[in-house]
């Protein structure tokens, strides 16, 4: 009787995951979807706590300690974290899931090597796979966290010939896995530790050369890895809900990865091999003798005040400058003067999928005002003034007309179709990808130098005084 | 080869489930608007914390004197629970922001 109840609970939990994720992919139902999935998780955990087991001492105290400590850390972190630090937070949580799978695989292997448990070859293979992918997801996510948080700069972790090093590491890791399988239970824990260390190292090294504009891709990819590790752990335990949950996450992560790659018109392999910035040698680099025209705060505010329509193009710089609330204030002032204000969101603007949407939502910008790439490009033709706030590569015309540019072929926001362009920028330095942007020298463009938040606040003051 | 085939036969139902869930996952999630990319990612991320179930089973099946297994299991529960609670809470916070703005 109890066992049927447990199985039924797992089934309900699995359906809740599927339905929850389905609801999560539509704006009106997303919040309900998240709650539904969390209820499914609660049911699954409760069922696991009371499920009849063969052997073992239950050890509920240990479980309770784990649940309280983990739940406490998770809750406090989720409530305390600033909305702007969301990409880092998601990355950390993701890494912990991977680490959990790796710990499970280790526990199985310890039992296997001390002779208290036997495993078939297939089973052993799955345990090793769980360990590997969980470990890669863990160190990869932690490095991604460091990069997103600005603690680690790309140049600190990229070695010369990094692609070769990664390939060698991957070969070593796979060879170790094969060796462990051939050796079977004779391999011992020493070799297991070597395999663990190599896997952890590979995760770090794998993410190291990927940076800047490629971050959204790698974050989604790591997300799908964690899903896979959970699913593989599900196979170890013969547990259906772990398998279903893990695979769903793997699918969600893969879909996002593909969307992000499409948005840059690059293949996943190309992103992984990396070198977005370093490949820029072939570009024309025609900036030498050109001079970008500068705007004053007064010029810019007049252009905004008397426009019929204004389009803001936010990028990572908006997040860095924490300028989203100031931008919303400017938006409100202009709307009050009957200016139609919209936002153009490029799919890879920022450092994680949907980064700009979260940032603007935090500043209370209603989401119908955010246009995606296609709609924005259609609307740009009828826009009077475009204001580019901390975006660079996603508005670079070289993507369309300079075959030598590393971003050639990437769909971009065609802001030059608008009547006027204002670029808010600290200096003339190239974007994160290290590519010069001919847009800055475009005849329609004026540069407004300074910190984005500072510049926007000055614009707000000017517009108020008009 | 025999052991692989044997494994396949033993795990047949799980393999069916695996394949159908892959197909289902792609069908259910495929069309995501940009506005939901982050919440979907972070919600899915919380779901991947389902691996905590394995950690709970590990602890329950261990002998009360087996400190290595209990230690690993507890570490697993802490990691998994942080992922689950943190993931769902952060996603809810994000989605609450989106909701407020609806006209």
- Mind listing the pLDDT tens digit for each residue in A111-162? 999 988 888 888 999 999 999 999 999 999 999 999 888 888 877 787 888 8
B57–A53 CB contact, under 8 Å:
yes
Mean pLDDT of A415-444: 81
A245–B47 CB contact, under 8 Å:
yes
Mean pLDDT of B70-99: 93
Length of chain A: 466
Query: Cα–Cα–Cα angle for A71, A73, A76, nearest 5°?
Result: 100
d(CA A57, CA A63): 12
Which chain B residue shows the shortest CA-CA distance from A85? B90
Residue B8 reports pLDDT greater than 90: no
d(CA A387, CA A326): 14
Which chain B residue shows the shortest CA-CA distance from A54? B61
Q: What is the pLDDT of residue A50?
A: 93
User: What is the average pLDDT value for chain A, to the nearest integer?
Assistant: 88
* One domain, residues B5 and B39: no
Mean pLDDT of A443-452: 88
**What residue ranges do the domains of chain A occupy?**
1-46, 85-276, 297-465
Q: How far is B33 from chain A (nearest CA, A)?
A: 7
d(CA A157, CA A209): 7
The ipTM estimated for the assembled molecules is 0.92
Residue A54 reports pLDDT greater than 60: yes
Q: β-pairing, A370-371 with A420-425?
A: unpaired
Residue A445 reports pLDDT greater than 60: yes
Tell me if chain A has a CB within 8 Å of the CB of B19.
no
Per DSSP, the three-state class of A181 is: helix
Among A66-70, A117-121, A219-223, A227-231, which is the least confidently predicted range? A117-121
The range of the structural domain enclosing residue B20 comes to 1-31
Give the CA-trace dihedral at A331, A334, A338, A340, to 10 degrees. Answer: -40
Among A258-267, A303-312, A329-338, which is the least confidently predicted range? A258-267
* One domain, residues B20 and B59: no
* One domain, residues B24 and B42: no
Among A308-312, A328-332, A345-349, which is the least confidently predicted range? A345-349
Q: How far is B67 from chain A (nearest CA, A)?
A: 10
Residue B50 reports pLDDT greater than 70: yes
d(CA A35, CA A16): 9
With contact defined as beta carbons under 8 Å apart, do A380 and A421 qualify? no
* One domain, residues B40 and B15: no
Which chain A residue shows the shortest CA-CA distance from B50? A242
Helix (H) or strand (E) holding A342: strand A340-344
Q: What is the DSSP-derived secondary structure letter of residue A75?
A: H
Q: What is the pLDDT of residue A428?
A: 74
Mean pLDDT of A85-94: 90
* One domain, residues B50 and B95: yes
d(CA A180, CA A187): 6
* One domain, residues B20 and B38: no
Q: What is the pLDDT of residue A281?
A: 38
Q: What is the DSSP-derived secondary structure letter of residue A431?
A: -
Give the CA-trace dihedral at A363, A366, A368, A373, to 10 degrees. Answer: 0
* One domain, residues B52 and B96: yes
Q: What is the pLDDT of residue B100?
A: 56
Domain count, chain B: 2
B81–A74 CB contact, under 8 Å:
yes
Q: What is the pLDDT of residue A280?
A: 38
| Nearest residue, CB atoms, B43 vs list A34, A227, A236 | A34
CA B30, B34, B36, B37 torsion-angle sign: positive
What percent of chain A has a predicted confidence (pLDDT) above 70?
Answer: 95
Which chain A residue shows the shortest CA-CA distance from B65? A57
Residue A405 reports pLDDT greater than 90: no
* One domain, residues B20 and B68: no
HSE-CB for A74 with a 13 A CA cutoff: 30
Q: Comparing C-alpha atoms, which of A377, A374, A396 is closest to residue A441?
A: A396
Q: What is the pLDDT of residue A408?
A: 83
* One domain, residues B66 and B79: yes
| Nearest residue, CB atoms, A38 vs list B3, B37, B88 | B88
Catalytic entry in A331, A332, A340, A393: A393
| Nearest residue, CB atoms, B35 vs list A99, A240, A370 | A370
Tell me if chain A has a CB within 8 Å of the CB of B7.
yes
Q: How far is B12 from chain A (nearest CA, A)?
A: 11
CATH topology of domain A297-465: Rossmann fold (3.40.50)
* One domain, residues B23 and B39: no
| A332 labelled catalytic | no
Tell me if chain A has a CB within 8 Å of the CB of B5.
no
* One domain, residues B26 and B43: no
A89–B99 CB contact, under 8 Å:
no
* One domain, residues B26 and B76: no
d(CA B82, CA A162): 33
With contact defined as beta carbons under 8 Å apart, do A127 and A180 qualify? no
Residue B21 reports pLDDT greater than 60: yes
Give the CA-trace dihedral at A14, A15, A18, A22, to 10 degrees. Answer: -160
Residue with tokens 């590491």, as numbered in its chain: A169
């Amino acid at each position: 009787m109890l066992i049927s109840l447990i199985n039924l609970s797992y089934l309900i939990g699995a359906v809740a995951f599927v339905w929850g994720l389905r609801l999560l992919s539509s704006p009106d139902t997303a919040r309900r979807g998240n709650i539904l999935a969390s209820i499914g998780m609660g049911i699954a955990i409760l069922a696991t706590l009371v499920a009849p087991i063969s052997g073992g001492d239950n050890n509920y105290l240990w479980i309770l300690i784990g649940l309280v400590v983990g739940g406490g850390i998770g809750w406090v972190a989720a409530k305390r974290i600033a909305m702007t630090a969301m990409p880092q937070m998601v990355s950390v949580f993701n890494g912990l899931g991977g680490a959990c799978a790796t710990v499970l695989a280790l526990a199985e292997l310890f039992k296997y090597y001390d002779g208290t448990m036997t495993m078939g070859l297939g089973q052993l293979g799955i345990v090793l796979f769980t360990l590997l992918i969980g470990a890669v997801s863990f160190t990869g996510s932690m490095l991604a966290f460091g990069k997103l948080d600005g603690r680690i700069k790309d140049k600190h972790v990229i070695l010369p010939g990094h692609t070769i090093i990664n390939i060698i590491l991957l070969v070593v890791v796979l060879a170790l896995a094969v060796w462990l399988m051939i050796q079977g239970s004779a391999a011992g824990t020493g070799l297991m530790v070597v395999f663990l260390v190599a896997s952890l190292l590979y995760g770090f090294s794998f993410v190291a050369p990927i940076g800047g504009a490629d971050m959204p891709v790698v974050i989604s990819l790591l997300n799908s890895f964690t899903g896979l590790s959970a699913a593989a752990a599900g196979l170890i335990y013969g547990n259906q809900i772990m398998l279903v949950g893990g695979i769903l996450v793997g699918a969600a992560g893969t879909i996002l990865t593909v969307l992000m790659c499409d948005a840059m018109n690059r293949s996943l392999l190309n992103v992984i091999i990396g070198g977005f910035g370093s490949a820029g040698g072939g570009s024309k680099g025609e900036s030498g003798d050109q001079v970008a025209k500068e705007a004053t705060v007064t010029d810019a505010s007049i252009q905004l005040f008397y426009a019929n329509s204004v389009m803001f193009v936010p990028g990572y710089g908006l997040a860095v400058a924490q300028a989203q609330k100031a931008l919303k204030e400017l938006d409100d002032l202009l709307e009050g003067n009957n200016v139609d204000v919209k936002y153009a969101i490029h799919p890879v603007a920022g450092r994680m999928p949907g980064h700009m949407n979260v940032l603007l939502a935090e500043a209370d910008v209603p989401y119908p005002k955010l246009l995606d790439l296609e709609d924005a490009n259609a609307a740009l033709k009828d826009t009077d003034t475009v204001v580019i706030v901390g975006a660079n590569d996603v508005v670079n015309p070289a993507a369309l007309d300079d075959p030598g540019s590393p971003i050639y072929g990437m769909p971009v926001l065609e802001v030059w179709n608008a009547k006027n362009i204002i670029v808010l920028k600290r200096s003339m330095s190239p974007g994160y990808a290290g590519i010069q942007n001919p847009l800055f020298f475009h005849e329609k463009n004026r540069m407004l130098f300074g910190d984005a938040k500072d510049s926007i606040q000055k614009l707000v003051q000017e517009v108020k005084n008009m | 080869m025999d052991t692989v085939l044997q494994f396949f036969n033993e795990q047949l139902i799980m393999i069916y489930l695996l394949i159908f869930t892959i197909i289902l996952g792609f069908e259910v999630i495929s069309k995501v608007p940009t506005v939901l990319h982050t919440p979907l990612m972070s919600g899915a991320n919380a779901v991947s914390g389902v691996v905590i179930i394995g950690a709970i089973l590990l602890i329950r099946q261990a002998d009360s004197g087996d400190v290595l297994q209990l230690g690993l299991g507890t570490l697993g529960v802490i990691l998994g629970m942080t992922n689950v609670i943190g993931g769902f809470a952060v996603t809810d916070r994000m989605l609450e922001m989106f909701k407020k703005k609806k006209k």
